[in-house]
Homo-oligomer: A and B are copies of this chain.
Amino acid sequence: MRIPLSCRVVGVVVSLLFTYCGRLSAGVIDNHVDQLGADCQLPDALVQEIKGYQPIVNKIVGRIVDGEFAGKTWDSLAELVDTFGARLAGSEQLEKAIDWAVGKLKEDGLENVHTEEAQVPHWVRGYENAQLVAPFKKNLPLLGLGYTVGTPRGGIIADVIAVESFKEFEKLAPEQVKGKIVVFVPKWEGYGKTVVYRSKGASVAARKGAVASLIRSVTPFSIGSPHTGMQSYDDDVKKIPTACITVEDAEMILRKYRKGETLTIHLEMEDRNMEPVMSRNTIGELVGTTYTNTSVVVVSGHLDSWDVGVGAMDDGGGALISWKALTFLKAMGLRPRRTIRAILWTGEEFGLLGGKAYKEAHMENEKKEFNFFFESDIGTFEPKGLDFSGNKEAECIFREVVKLMSPLNATEFQTPTDGGPDVTHWTSRGFPGASLINKNEKYFWFHHSNGDSMAVEDPKNLDKCAALWAAAAYVVADLSVAMPKDVTDPISHLDL
């Protein structure tokens, strides 16, 4: 996952978006006050109707976690990442993975399998090398950030300015910064709060004449691995090369700099931006018995990844449980009243671009078309429950749905939430949605690094996540009532 653009829109006070940013800021997922829902006034018949789904939930969980589907989600995820590796937006590997997914969704019996186009950037990582050349020689493992430009041929050799915060940097005069490599070494204060240094470090540094910007990797724990991720240049600054270095090296540089030492770095980056290319969201359905193609329940994760590691965690797992939830329901002969639609987003890492294109293509009838949005993009470790975004009435219904997840010991309920980065295109405007709460305390250890591999994914936990996904989507899609919503139209300056 990446931080939504909205978290970087300073000064726009939109409580829902800022709630999301704030939650990320404090850690992976904060423990929110769990309002007990005591003020819910659902009709007793509806409460009883939802409770009536318990046997079917039990059956779904039993078959996926302990039955014939056990281990299948991990196997398919391993096949995806072992066959195609990382799936960077704009890469041939991503498009091949999409072709493969289309074939597999069809093989699994999903219906209306197709793709829908979304334009994505084509940024390419080239040779990257950084060396501390004075006061002693040390290789500095690094990863260039999304959209970064490269260095001139032969690289840049420059002295370092190291700061812990933008506030500290503000105090520096442009003549102190000009021609320097600025190293930002923010303390880890949760992803949402810390990631602004990665997102905006280059622009902030360039504004005072820096020639490059290096940032402490955005992670609470490190074993000498750099982490990549998105950044965006402000329109009015010179584009300078920017990369994340390891926590260890960043902290050492800051310590040395503060002692008054002169540090010199040789930075070589051959990263470059090519022409944008067309990619695709991958879609498959379990068509409803009653409300065909209206009031769709979306289950989703993104198929693209960063180009390091293999994107098993971010977001192979989320994509796979979304796809397999439908596969398993279909194989069990369970077809709800509403259509469940699995969407494997493209271009998420470069700005939620698959979701954006999908939103625009479906905007005209969106209120009619969409009932509920599930997204999993914060790990598929052991599931704990679901968090929710939507109006009070929908919340009360969804609270009852989450209670059904007791066989998985996953009845935690949190609200508000944005429902996940890609679906903020809808949930930020009042559509109801939910995302997976899971034991993802180590998520950012691996996030956007070479550590994002199958080693992070546990077959049993993937089964549990898939079971939760299938069961929750099935119940929401089958209820006698549609999920209530108070939808606002897109507003241009908030438009994700």
Chain A residues with CB under 8 Å of chain B are: 78, 81-86, 93, 132, 135-139, 141, 221-225, 246-249, 251-252, 255-256, 259, 308-310, 445-446, 449-455
Q: Report the separation of the CA atoms of residues A249 and B212 in the bound assembly, to the nearest whole angstrom.
A: 31
Neighbouring B residues of A251 by C-beta, 8 Å: 453-455
CB of A29 to closest CB in B, whole Å: 20
- Measured between C-beta atoms, what is the minimum distance from A216 to chain B in Å? 11
Interface centre among A221, A223, A256, by most B CB within 10 Å?
A223
Q: A82-B255, A455-B247 are in contact. Are A450 and B93 (CB under 8 A)?
A: no
Cα A351 to Cα B82 with chains together (Å): 38
**Candidate in A82, A93, A135, A255 with the most chain B CB atoms within 10 angstroms:** A82
Q: Which residues of B contact A225 (CB under 8 A)?
A: 223-225, 450-451
Q: A224 is contacted by which of B85, B139, B449 (Cβ under 8 Å)?
A: B449
Q: Is B455 touching A248 in the complex (CB atoms < 8 A)?
A: yes
**Contacts A82-B252, A138-B310, A252-B310 given; 8 further ones with Cβ under 8 A?**
A82-B255, A224-B446, A224-B452, A248-B310, A248-B451, A248-B453, A249-B453, A255-B454
By a CB distance below 8 angstroms, the chain B residues around A81 are: 252
Report how many copies the assembly holds.
Answer: 2
Residues in B neighbouring A83, C-beta threshold 8 A: 135-136
Query: Is there an interface contact between B223 and A450, defined as CB atoms closer than 8 Å?
Result: yes
Asked if B85 and A223 make an inter-chain contact with CB atoms under 8 angstroms apart, the answer reads: no
A246 touching B137 in the complex, CB below 8 Å, given contacts A223-B445, A225-B224, A445-B223: no
Residues of B within 8 A of A259 (CB): 82
Closest to A253 in B: B82
Pairs A–B under 8 Å by Cβ, sample size 6: A78-B255, A139-B308, A222-B223, A224-B309, A248-B310, A252-B453
Interchain CB contact (< 8 A) of A450 among B248, B451, B452: B248
In the assembled complex, the CB of A265 is this many whole angstroms from the nearest CB of chain B, namely 13
Q: Are B308 and A223 within 8 A (Cβ)?
A: no
Q: Are A85 and B451 in contact (CB under 8 A)?
A: no
A397 to chain B, nearest CB (A): 40
Q: Which residue of B lies closest to A248 (CB)?
A: B453
Determine whether the beta carbon of A136 is less than 8 Å from that of B223.
no
Q: Which chain B residues lie closer than 8 Å to A223 at the CB level?
A: 221-223, 225, 445-446, 449-451
Q: Which 3 A-B pairs have the closest CB atoms?
A: A224-B450, A223-B451, A248-B453
Q: In the bound complex, how far is the Cα of B450 from the Cα of A251, in angstroms?
A: 13
Instruction: Assess whether B93 is in contact with A222, with CB atoms less than 8 Å apart.
Output: no
Given A136-B93, A137-B85, A137-B93: A455 and B78 within 8 A (CB)? no
The interface residues of chain B lying within 8 Å CB-to-CB of A135 are: 83
A186 vs chain B, min Cβ distance (A): 15
What B residues does A86 contact at CB under 8 A? 138
User: What are the residues of chain B within 8 A of A141 when measuring CB–CB?
Assistant: 450
Known: A82-B255, A82-B256, A252-B310. A224 touches B138 (CB 8 A): no
A139 to B308 CA separation, bound complex (whole angstroms): 8
